[in-house]
Amino acid sequence: MLYMPYKRKKYHHGDTHLKKQWRTKRRKRDLDEINEDMKVENAQKLLNQEVDLDKPGFAQFYCIHCARYFIDDHALKDHFKTKVHKRRLKALELEPYTIEESERAAGKGSFEPAKKRKIETQPIDELEKNVALRGIPLNVKSLKRMWDFQEGVRANRNQLEDKRFELAKAIKDLMSRGTDDVEVEKLKILAQKVKREIKVVTSSLWDLENKVMPKLLSLPNVLHTRTPLKTEKILHTYLDIPQGKQALSHVDIGNSLGILKVIGPLCYFLKNEGVKFELGLVQYLANYLRSKGFVQFSNPDFVKSLVVEGCGFDHEDPMMSFILKRDNSDDVDENNPNRLHLTGGASITPFCSYFAKHVLKDPLPVKLFASGRSYSPSALQINGSLVKSCQASAVQLFVALSNCPNVEDTMFDDLLADLINAYENLGYHFKVSYVPPSKMSSWECLRASFQMYSLFSQSYVEVGNLSMCSDFVSKRLLMYYQNPDKRVDFMRFVTGTVLSVPKVLACVLEDPINLHDGKLMLPLPAERKKRESVDLKRKRTKR
Amino acid sequence: MPASVRSWFPHPWREWRILDVWCFPSVIFKVFNANDANGQVTSKWREYELIVYVRSVFVAKSSSIAPDKIYDKSVLKPFPGFERKLHELDLNYLCNKNNIAEIEENVKRRKLNGDIKLIHELFARIQSAENGGEKDLLIEQLSEEALKIPNKLKPGLGDEPELMRYVGEKKTFSFSPKTFENLTKINGILRTEKLGHLTGRRSYFLCGALSQLEEAIVNFTVNHLYERGFQLVSVPDILPASVIEGCGMTTRGERNQVYRLDNQLYKTGTEWGDEICLSGTSEMALAALLAHESCSNGPIPSGELPLRICAVSRCYRAEVSSVATERGLYRVHEFTKVEMFGACPPDESAQLANELVSIEEEILTALGLHARVLQMGAADLGPQAYYKVDIEAWMPGRATSGSKEKEEEFGWGEVSSCSDCTDFQSRRLGIHYADRNGNRHLLHTVNGTAAAIPRLLIAILETHQREDKTIEIPNALRPFMNGCDTISPSQKVIDIKPLPVSLRSRS
């Protein structure tokens, strides 16, 4: 007998007895709850959940809009194409009903129609996720569409060019045979038409490129697997957090000690011990890095927009780098976009300029450092302080590496260990942590941040950092190196501000342990020993 | 606030949640919307251009400050204490008819463009004018013109430089000394080529040993000055135009040496000269520091005088030169410099200037350089100097780079200078001291270069070269270079070559 499947008697989903309907056992999240989930901070939490062995796919593949877990990436992507999911997106378009709306309906206030929103499926693409995590206001999907359109136009133009080439060839053939003037004339008219068309298409292609390329250049670097998605991941801490409260900020303390004078947001002066602290700290780091085989550089402070953009910064943003007046640049031309910027020698840009459009012939790794100034308007605020100063004495390191991710990883770890050692010698409390993408620059794929504690603001302040760049910048600025077998390839590099003096000074001033007899104790090892012995004495006398 | 900006803000004000109000360049507001309606965008930000300043960071929602109050310009001072002080100009001297001839000659000899006759004309008009708007305008105009009049000249100063003495011995070579460019070419310790489109024209990288030598010179000089009782100060490099002008540099007009930030993007008030500049020498910042101190803490007590201050800083100069001999590191836009600055009562400034010159000579002697000290003529003085002493070092490589007759002309290169500015800067910036009886007086300021790195590097390398292009490091610097005594030409620092043509084109 032929197998007959069971024929359902009830045709509608949910057509069951009320008892079952009202059970909370299998209750899914309601639409207003999902609306709450869609808010960025919640969405981020839901999309990056901890591993939970009891949930499908260990809670790693979640659809926010349907509030469902899937077993793997494939299943999740398939789900996005289903009718259930699309129906759910449609249902979410309408703003949820609120108490305020009910009050309005009851005559309190006047009627406001519920708003409709456009709901899009959560980003599945790596790039989209990256852009979202970093908080860059960029719509990857529309950018992709623009890119596809541009490439379509380009293909169109190439076709036309081919056609013109064929026509030219045909005309030449006919001419050489010397026959049929009418045929040649026909072809010529056709060729002219094609030529005109090419002109139009090419100009529109240029327009498109002008629009699309800057956006493409603002796409960020890929994220390293070690980069934490949500919160900082602490790698190392040294000594305990300074305890207690500080009623005065470093500006007041420094002023009363006569070593610091902050004037407005742009200017500050260091005097006496303050200068010794600055010069001594920079020199200590220079000596330390030299002993680790680093080569010293003195870099120019100016850099052109070309390099600023190449390093993944917005070169037109006045808060990214100081932009100089046009008549100071070599080119007075009003429309020349290549302007002069002030970034300081102790920053990433001059190192990139050094290698840009050049091939490095030395065996890698090449380890460099520069001590000098670093200028950044982004931290500028009306109440001047050292933490947000826009001029800093700093030490920047730059290590050029071969194009191999493993080499980059091990070098990063080695450098991190070296820097931690250098910081420990100073004898201050600090912590090192990987920061989440939202706090990274677009050229970084991993950033380890060195932070010291400010007692006045009761928070950590980043005083130094080490970042991995992969080949993001070198591809843009054509920074090459030569293999032993004479092949050329893009270099990778690890760079970082080893230490920014004013920020360290700010944290040091706010901790009373560093002040002795109304004087700032210098952090040099010999001085530290003295301080420790003083502390011991103090402890003894207390007993 | 401009109406166009106001329209951006939804009202009422208090509902607007501003988390962070940033100040300064045309005021940038970063407004973070924690969540967007569809939950897609993490943060939104927008920038507004405002010409006014914002006092402090605030959260409008939680504070009761009316935002209009925050834009109160009177409480907002981007550079407090650095305002132009026009009222202290010496009008008694300028508006005295007996001085016209003297001032006119002074301006002419310095090749400046101040117009004393116009000042007198304005002065006469002010006297006859009635009180009111027109008179204020005239006074303003008079002050502007008076600012252009240079300092007095030291009596008996000629037009041409006058040799005072020589320092050290001229070194004789058994071979033809090489130029600095030649000495640094082989081992790549200096890069100046192919940088115009990357780091700007005339920019340079010092690599390896040369960079270390720079550090050593700075540390040696600072140590030396510290032992001589100088106070160390670390200075800002970004200053308002009012300070730069107060020190005697012009920031306007086509031919000026001052780098400025784009004033469409970064704004200050008229009190600060409307522009933000990069300092050309730390003298400017040091003068500004004294001005700030004597303005906020009252005049400097006479017990602290004379003040001897030194600072290490970067200097930015927009000057251009197409002279072939000034190629390479000789004239550059940015360099490190150790500057000496002194302030003293009026009758002591000549003595203090002499002291600075003798320190400059000491430093050059310690570096083993041969130099000559010149009393500069009126034609070479800036508007701020009462007189100026230049020290030129002998650069044997540059001397032989030209023809035999031009040896003297090419060989001497200015490495430091010292000017006595008398009360020129104090008047414009408001620097005072109090004598024993507590009366206010204007201070006299003096400044001198302790070490300007690029030219010192040229002089040192060219003087201490051996025939095989090895550079001997002067004894005084060795302790600052970990005991290293030579720079060898064979050790290449970084080996790079320009990109081959095949790799240059990019899709």
pLDDT confidence of A212, banded at 50, 70, 90?
confident
- Out of A264, A301, A306, name the one closest to residue B79 (CB): A264
What single DSSP character describes residue B507? Answer: -
Cβ–Cβ of B503/A478 closer than 8 Å?
yes
In terms of pLDDT, which residue wins out, B139 or B192? Answer: B192
Q: Tokens at residue B334, please?
A: 């940015």
Average pLDDT over residues B423-430: 89
- Taking CB atoms within 8 Å and a gap of at least 24, the contacts of A483-488 are A483/A402, A484/A363, A488/A359, A488/B500, A488/B503
Q: How far does the CA of residue B9 sit from the closest CA of chain A (Å)?
A: 21
- Out of A297, A322, A393, name the one closest to residue B211 (CB): A297
Residues 300-359 of B with CB under 8 A from A: 312, 314, 316, 318, 333-334, 336
In terms of pLDDT, which residue wins out, B278 or B327? Answer: B278
Query: How many other C-beta atoms can be found within 10 angstroms of the C-beta atom of residue B37?
Result: 14
- DSSP codes of every residue in B50-115: -SS---S---TTT----HHHHT-GGG--SSTT----GGGS-HHHHT-GGGHHHHHHHHHHHT----
pLDDT confidence of B87, banded at 50, 70, 90?
low
Environment class of A63 (CB within 10 Å of its CB; exposed 0-12, middle 13-18, buried 19+) = buried
Q: Using CA atoms, how far apart are residues B66 and B47, in angstroms rounded to an integer?
A: 20
Q: Using CA atoms, how far apart are residues A310 and B154, in angstroms rounded to an integer?
A: 53
**CA angle centred on B479, ends B477 and B481, rounded to 5°:** 70
pLDDT confidence of A538, banded at 50, 70, 90?
low
Q: Tokens at residue B452, please?
A: 């300007």
B40 pLDDT above the threshold of 50: no
Residue A85: half-sphere exposure toward Cβ, Cα within 13 Å: 19
Average pLDDT over residues B73-95: 69
- Residues of chain B neighbouring A39 (CB-CB closer than 8 A): 34-35, 39
**CA angle centred on A228, ends A227 and A229, rounded to 5°:** 110
Residue B98: half-sphere exposure toward Cβ, Cα within 13 Å: 2
pLDDT at residue A530 in the model:
55
pLDDT confidence of A509, banded at 50, 70, 90?
very high
What single DSSP character describes residue A113? Answer: P
Cβ–Cβ of B198/A117 closer than 8 Å?
no
Average pLDDT over residues A435-459: 92
pLDDT at residue A83 in the model:
93
Q: How far apart are the first and last CA of chain B?
A: 47
Residue B120: half-sphere exposure toward Cβ, Cα within 13 Å: 14
pLDDT at residue B5 in the model:
40
- Residues of chain A neighbouring B285 (CB-CB closer than 8 A): 267, 269
Say if residues B418 and B356 touch (Cβ distance below 8 Å). yes
- Residues of chain A neighbouring B329 (CB-CB closer than 8 A): none
Average pLDDT, chain B: 80
Bridge partners, residue B336, by sequence: B314
B64 pLDDT above the threshold of 70: no
Q: Using CA atoms, how far apart are residues A165 and A506, in angstroms rounded to an integer?
A: 69
Cβ–Cβ of A39/B44 closer than 8 Å?
no
B111 pLDDT above the threshold of 90: no
Average pLDDT over residues A503-523: 86
Cite the DSSP H helix spans in B79-231: 91-94, 100-110, 116-128, 133-147, 180-185, 196-199, 209-227
Rounded to 10 deg, the angle between the A501-510 and A250-257 helix axes is: 80
Average pLDDT over residues A60-82: 89
Average pLDDT, chain A: 86
pLDDT at residue B8 in the model:
40
Least confident range of A374-388, A407-421, B188-202: A374-388
pLDDT at residue A414 in the model:
95
Q: Which residue has the tokens 């011990």?
A: A273
pLDDT confidence of A183, banded at 50, 70, 90?
confident
* Interface-testing mutation among B496, B503, B505, with chain A (most A C-beta atoms within 10 A): B496
Q: Using CA atoms, how far apart are residues B425 and B245, in angstroms rounded to an integer?
A: 9
pLDDT at residue B12 in the model:
34
- Tell me the count of A-B CB pairs closer than 8 A: 257
Q: Tokens at residue B273, please?
A: 């000269």
B21 pLDDT above the threshold of 80: no
In terms of pLDDT, which residue wins out, A454 or B61? Answer: A454
**Amino acid identity, residue A97?**
Y
pTM here is 0.80
pLDDT at residue A9 in the model:
73
- Residues of chain A neighbouring B233 (CB-CB closer than 8 A): 269-271, 275
Report the SS3 class of residue A131: helix
Q: Using CA atoms, how far apart are residues A412 and A26, in angstroms rounded to an integer?
A: 49
Environment class of B9 (CB within 10 Å of its CB; exposed 0-12, middle 13-18, buried 19+) = middle
Q: Using CA atoms, how far apart are residues A141 and B16, in angstroms rounded to an integer?
A: 31
Instruction: Identify the sign of the CA torsion A236, A242, A245, A249.
Output: negative
Q: DSSP strand E in B410-498: where?
A: 412-420, 432-434, 440-442, 444-452, 471-472, 486-487, 496-498
Report the SS3 class of residue A365: coil
- Residues of chain A neighbouring B207 (CB-CB closer than 8 A): 295-298
What single DSSP character describes residue A13? Answer: T
Bridge partners, residue A368, by sequence: A295, A398
**Peptide linkage before A123 cis (omega within 30 of 0):** no
What single DSSP character describes residue B411? Answer: H
Q: How do residues B283-329 score in pLDDT, each as one tens digit?
A: 999 999 998 888 778 888 888 889 999 999 999 988 766 666 667 78
- Residues of chain B neighbouring A326 (CB-CB closer than 8 A): 262
pLDDT confidence of B253, banded at 50, 70, 90?
low
Report the SS3 class of residue A57: helix
- Out of B25, B56, B206, name the one closest to residue A298 (CB): B206
pLDDT at residue A172 in the model:
87
pLDDT at residue B44 in the model:
33
pLDDT confidence of B73, banded at 50, 70, 90?
very low
Least confident range of A280-284, A390-394, A516-520: A516-520
Give every CB contact of residue B133 below 8 A, 6+ residues apart in sequence. none
Residue A79: half-sphere exposure toward Cβ, Cα within 13 Å: 22
B61 pLDDT above the threshold of 60: no
Q: Using CA atoms, how far apart are residues B349 and B345, in angstroms rounded to an integer?
A: 7
- Residues of chain A neighbouring B26 (CB-CB closer than 8 A): 318
Cβ–Cβ of B194/A132 closer than 8 Å?
no
Give whichever of B167-181, B392-406, B451-465 has the largest mean pLDDT: B451-465
B71 pLDDT above the threshold of 60: no
Q: Which residue in chain B is spatially nearest to A400 when comparing CA positions? A: B494
Q: Any CB–CB contact under 8 A between B28 and chain A?
A: yes
pLDDT confidence of A534, banded at 50, 70, 90?
low
**B320 alpha carbon, distance to own chain's centre:** 16
Average pLDDT over residues B209-236: 94
Instruction: Identify the sign of the CA torsion A162, A168, A172, A178.
Output: positive
Q: Any CB–CB contact under 8 A between B214 and chain A?
A: yes
Q: Using CA atoms, how far apart are residues A386 and A504, in angstroms rounded to an integer?
A: 9
Q: Give the torsion through C-alpha atoms of B326, B332, B337, B341, to 10 deg.
A: 80
Q: Using CA atoms, how far apart are residues A399 and B102, in angstroms rounded to an integer?
A: 62
Strand order in the sheet with B496-498: A488-490, A479-482, A358-360, B496-498
Q: How far does the CA of residue B90 sit from the closest CA of chain A (Å)?
A: 28
B316 closest CA partner among B347, B285, B349, B362: B285
Q: Any CB–CB contact under 8 A between B56 and chain A?
A: yes
Say if residues B307 and B435 touch (Cβ distance below 8 Å). no
Q: Using CA atoms, how far apart are residues A139 and A215, in angstroms rounded to an integer?
A: 10
Q: How far does the CA of residue B197 sit from the closest CA of chain A (Å)?
A: 7
B76 pLDDT above the threshold of 70: no
Q: Using CA atoms, how far apart are residues A363 and B494, in angstroms rounded to an integer?
A: 10
Q: How far does the CA of residue A377 sit from the closest CA of chain B (Å)?
A: 9
pLDDT at residue A124 in the model:
65
Three-state SS string over A253-296 comes to HHHHHCCEEEECCCEEEEECHHHHHHHHHHHHHHHHHHHCCCEE
Average pLDDT over residues A352-378: 91
Q: How do residues A2-45 score in pLDDT, each as one tens digit?
A: 566 677 777 777 777 888 778 888 788 888 899 999 887 788 78
Bridge partners, residue A447, by sequence: A467
pLDDT at residue A528 in the model:
56
A188 pLDDT above the threshold of 90: no
* Interface-testing mutation among A45, A131, A328, A475, with chain B (most B C-beta atoms within 10 A): A328
Give every CB contact of residue B480 below 8 A, 6+ residues apart in sequence. B215, B216, B217, B219, B220
pLDDT confidence of A479, banded at 50, 70, 90?
very high
Query: How many other C-beta atoms can be found within 10 angstroms of the C-beta atom of residue A176?
Result: 8
Report the SS3 class of residue A188: helix
pLDDT at residue A116 in the model:
84
pLDDT at residue B13 in the model:
35
Average pLDDT over residues A229-243: 89
Q: Which secondary structure element, helix H or strand E, spans residue A200, and what is its range?
A: helix A181-217
Bridge partners, residue A121, by sequence: none
Cβ–Cβ of A261/B37 closer than 8 Å?
no
pLDDT at residue A1 in the model:
47
pLDDT at residue A326 in the model:
78
In terms of pLDDT, which residue wins out, A379 or A147? Answer: A147
Q: How far does the CA of residue A220 sit from the closest CA of chain B (Å)?
A: 16
Q: How do residues B354-393 score in pLDDT, each as one tens digit?
A: 999 999 999 999 999 999 999 999 888 888 999 999 999 9
A193 closest CA partner among A170, A160, A166: A160
Q: Using CA atoms, how far apart are residues A462 and A499, in angstroms rounded to an integer?
A: 9
Q: Tokens at residue B295, please?
A: 């303005």
pLDDT at residue A531 in the model:
57
Strand A459-468 and strand A340-342: the pairing is unpaired
**Amino acid identity, residue A112?**
E
In terms of pLDDT, which residue wins out, B305 or B206? Answer: B206
**B55 alpha carbon, distance to own chain's centre:** 29
Residues 387-416 of B with CB under 8 A from A: none
Q: Which residue has the tokens 């596809």?
A: A148
pLDDT at residue A196 in the model:
92
In terms of pLDDT, which residue wins out, B466 or B147? Answer: B466
Cite the DSSP H helix spans in B345-432: 349-366, 396-401, 407-411, 424-429
* Interface-testing mutation among B211, B263, B276, B310, with chain A (most A C-beta atoms within 10 A): B211
pLDDT at residue A155 in the model:
92
Q: How do residues A98-156 score in pLDDT, each as one tens digit?
A: 888 899 888 888 888 888 888 877 776 678 788 888 888 777 878 888 888 898 999 99
pLDDT at residue A523 in the model:
73
Q: Using CA atoms, how far apart are residues A461 and A405, in angstroms rounded to an integer?
A: 30
Q: DSSP strand E in A478-541: where?
A: 479-482, 488-490, 492-500, 515-516, 519-520
